[in-house]
A and B are shown apart, each in its own frame.
Chain A
């Protein structure tokens, strides 16, 4: 199993541009989520999904959209990039079965908005 994969690994955007961060998992996990990590801070939840077709907002959803058309994929879209969205983005998945909530993280996407 590849686990959780994320692409791209690095990205530079200009203010106002849009892009999609890709996330995929091959563990048949129902639960997937997106976090952002800023210096000196823990991970903050952007959006999450408890299964295909179901998404919900996390702590910092503004400026981001998600969709979950399949169990495997959970892309994160930046609608109009802003410098405040410069961060490291992590995707994670979890079995979410029987009360297990261990989340497994991808390697991250390092985004810079100029």
Chain B
């Protein structure tokens, strides 16, 4: 089936640093979503993107829908301890019958 390649798989950073992660696909997607999952909880939606080239912010988080429609990026500025968790990208392929495809996740660890 469809797969998303999410990178990096893990990140270890200092508090206050900026974070960048991305998702790529071999096929075209018409929706990109970014989620954060805290331990023992369900994923929580951070940002939704629906148009190629779209750039959307949610506080210190900024995500972009790649112009090729095959990738998406998430940036976190000035990281704080509560940013720790696993970040997932998810995409809706053009030929996917409403089946979201998820990346494997990026585990973010922050050293205070």
Q: Looking at chain B, what size class is its interface with the partner chain?
A: 20 to 34
Chain B interface main SS type: loop
Residues from 53 to 101 in A contacting B, C-beta threshold 8 Å: 56, 58-59, 90, 92, 96, 99-101
Contact A102 B88 (CB under 8 A): no
Contact A101 B104 (CB under 8 A): no
Complex contact B103–A102 (CB within 8 A): no
Q: Count A-B contacts at CB 8 Å.
A: 58
Q: How far is the CA of A48 from the CA of B42 in the complex (A)?
A: 17
Q: Which residue of A lies closest to B97 (CB)?
A: A56
Interface contact B98-A43, CB-CB below 8 Å: no
With a cutoff of 8 Å between Cβ atoms, the chain B residues found around residue A105 in the complex are 35, 42-44
Q: With an 8 A cutoff between CB atoms, is B102 at the interface? A: yes
CA distance A108 to B40 in the complex (A): 8
Whole-angstrom distance between the alpha carbons of A43 and B99 in the complex? 12
Q: A31-B98, A45-B100, A56-B97 are in contact. List 11 more A-B contacts (CB 8 A).
A: A40-B104, A42-B88, A43-B88, A43-B90, A44-B102, A99-B31, A99-B50, A100-B48, A101-B31, A101-B92, A105-B35
Q: Interface on B for A, CB 8 Å cutoff?
A: 1, 4, 6, 31, 33, 35, 40-45, 48, 50, 88, 90, 92, 97-100, 102-105
